[in-house]
Amino acid sequence: MRHLNSGRKLGVDQSHRIALLRGLTLSLIEHEAIRTTPARAKELRWYADRVVTLAKRGDLAARRKIIQLLGSTESHADGHNRVRSAIERIYSQLVPRYQGRNGGYTQIVRLAERRPGDNAEMCYMRYIPAAEEKKEKGVKKESGKTAKAKSAGSKKKAAAASDKTEAKSDKTEKKTTKAKKKEKED
């Protein structure tokens, strides 16, 4: 029995699994969406959410923990370091996006087509877009009943509001005509 053995083995040994999940996490941070198998995506979900949660804390210990999860920030060659650029991207883009959200920063979308070669099931793993991005792109769709009910409710409200304004304008017109008649009589 697998008591207290959480997580998926993914068919590889421990060091390979850690390297695999680090690489997938870095790719997800860099590209915001990756294509992988559902088992890998489910295991990656913990890493991806944990990195953002730690970054939201904002202290030095959290930054060091992120470095521990993603790997070394030392570069042996001059120039680009993948982990450093990923950490900067986390703090500059992902943390402000999820400031008001407690967990659940990733989404797994299963694909209908399978991987050629071994016929493995595939999915997209991505960070959930910000609320503003959803509104701009028109991704957010309302269900049929609620959309109809909302549009009908908004039409009724608009009609009621226009009726009120018309009634008020009619009352003011009547008052002005009455005032003019009184002036003519005097």
> Residue 78 belongs to a domain with what CATH number?
3.90.1030.10
Say what the alpha-carbon torsion angle 52, 56, 60, 64 is, to the nearest 10 degrees: -10
Which pTM was predicted? Answer: 0.68
Checking if the pLDDT of 40 tops 80, the result is yes
Read off the pLDDT of residues 115-149 as tens digits, 9 standing for 90 and up.
999 999 999 999 999 877 666 665 555 555 555 55
Q: Does residue 1 fall inside a structural domain? A: no
Overall number of domains in the chain? 2
Give percent of the chain with pLDDT exceeding 70: 68
Greater confidence, 108 or 155? 108
88 and 118 both lie in a single domain: yes
So what's the pLDDT on residue 81?
Answer: 86
29 and 95 both lie in a single domain: yes
The boundaries of the domain holding residue 176 are 141-186
132 and 145 both lie in a single domain: no
Do 51 and 65 touch, CB atoms closer than 8 A? no
95 and 42 both lie in a single domain: yes
Q: What's the pLDDT band for 166 if we cut at 50, 70, 90?
A: low
Q: Does residue 98 fall inside a structural domain? A: yes
Least confident of 10-19, 62-71, 127-136: 127-136
Q: What's the pLDDT band for 182 if we cut at 50, 70, 90?
A: low
So what's the pLDDT on residue 4?
Answer: 87
Going by the DSSP 8-state scheme, the letter that residue 107 receives in this structure is E
Tell me the C-alpha to C-alpha distance, in Å, between residue 63 and each of 20, 24, 60, 86, 105: 21, 19, 5, 12, 18
Contacts of 67 (CB under 8 A, 6+ apart): 73, 83, 87
So what's the pLDDT on residue 165?
Answer: 61
Q: Does residue 154 fall inside a structural domain? A: yes
154 and 109 both lie in a single domain: no
Q: Does residue 8 fall inside a structural domain? A: no
Checking if the pLDDT of 86 tops 60, the result is yes
